[in-house]
Structure 1
């Protein structure tokens, strides 16, 4: 869970009431990316598929 900023009491209260929704979404997205990387070969960040030597679908 993200630790609320003491200067943002409204945010701290929302986290107490609703949970850390942005943090949960970030962790879920990271988990999905890890799972996908086991199945799909992804080019390194900033490189296109053709630059990374991966097949490029025909349009």
Structure 2
């Protein structure tokens, strides 16, 4: 299982977006993340949602 991106990285995405100097594609390339992650984190920020990663779901193992 891959660990979620840190809150610090998510905040860096938001800060870069707020400068309006970079496109989503440039931010994704600069931080080595997907463009969908950039869009998701910015959407969460605009909707006043937490940037803290959610716990993984799915079935529990016995």
Q: Same fold (TM over 0.5)?
A: no
Into which bin does the TM-score normalised by the smaller protein fall?
A: under 0.3
More helix as a share of residues: 2
Structure exhibiting the larger radius of gyration computed from Cα positions: 1
Higher relative contact order (CA 8 A, sep 6+): 2
